Amino acid sequence: MINLAHDIAKQEFGKTFPNPSVGCIISKNSKIISKAVTSLSGRPHAEEIALSKAGPKAKGATMYVTLEPCFHSSKNGSCADQILRSGIKEIFISAPDPDIRTNKRSINKLKKNNVIVNVGIEKNKTYSLNKFFFKSLSKKQPFTKVKLAISNDEKIAWSDYKSKWISNKYSREYGHKLRSISQAILTTSKTIIKDNPKLTIRLKKNEIHIPIIIIDKDLKIPMNSKILKYISKKRIIIFTSKKNKKSVKLTNLGCEIIYCKINKFKKLNLKNIFKKIYSLKISDILVEAGGIFFTELLKNKLVDEVHLFKSKIIIGENGKPALWGKKIKELNLSLIMQKNFKDDKYFNYKVL
């Protein structure tokens, strides 16, 4: 049953931000009474939905849930209180909730009220699926993934930036899937100026808009950028040091402008920006930008994962490097997964 709970949680991953995707099963006499997953945008929780579906049948039943039920109050009381009111006699919990509002408090409360509590079954599945939640909560900054498409000689563009695509259409399609399981996309004004991307999710016939975060120190983003065309459909947050007529125009357009001081190196403080992003309840971001920005993120230890698409194309020494001053293989990375998209190779790395 706990594996089924994990399966349904995985199916909905990417739709419950900023909350983790949690699966819940309630069974009685070896039959499933109800099942549920965390609702869109995180509420209501999986346990609350499953209990509502089960109704009176929950009394004397067993619950299987992938993360510790919440202890903090909500509209109908905490999930722990709702479980107690329902008459659930036994519960299997994969992993404790690291949130200090709950952390093992619900487990202890359920035990004190004579519910049989089992903790730790398939806990690694919970950690693996919701790693953004566990990491962002501990670091107080968003879980950060960098997506890069590079040539065989580790370039991201020709010297004149006129290269449209380096990776093939199968790699690009997977790139859209990565967007679809991210809470927001982070980019730079330089990327917008050079590439003029939409940064939407284009899977099948749908075009989905998710929040966009732009690092733009001098507020150089063109007002006719494609990214601003659909401002009514998405949230756009711009971090800048400039407060001028353009910032007023962007605010009137619907952008959120956050002003930052520049440091002694005449740059924005990326660590402070990432703390601010987290305070905006954004705990998972996909970075789509250039090699200089990728290098800066690595220097500031702000990268958790790298999604690398490598083609057979050779650009040459005049091309724009994916990483300044180093080769990818020189980074402290651990391979999570590798696959091929026709002639392209895909690598998913954890940054150590």
Which are the catalytic amino acids?
47
Give strand ranges (E) for the chain: 23-28, 31-37, 62-65, 90-93, 116-119, 143-150, 155-157, 184-188, 201-203, 206-208, 212-215, 236-240, 256-259, 284-287, 305-310, 320-321, 333-341, 344-351
DSSP 8-state class, residue 39: P
Give strand ranges (E) for 200-332: 201-203, 206-208, 212-215, 236-240, 256-259, 284-287, 305-310, 320-321
Residues in the chain: 352
Alpha carbon 114 to chain centroid, angstroms: 37
Q: How far apart are CA 168 and CA 197, in angstroms?
A: 17
Give the pairing of strands 236-240 and 256-259: parallel
Q: How far apart are CA 334 and CA 275, in angstroms?
A: 25
Q: What residues pair up with 256 in beta bridges, in sequence order?
A: 237
Which amino acid appears at position 64 of this protein? Y
Find the helix packing angle between 79-86 and 46-54, rounded to 10°.
20
Tokens encoding 334: 């651990």
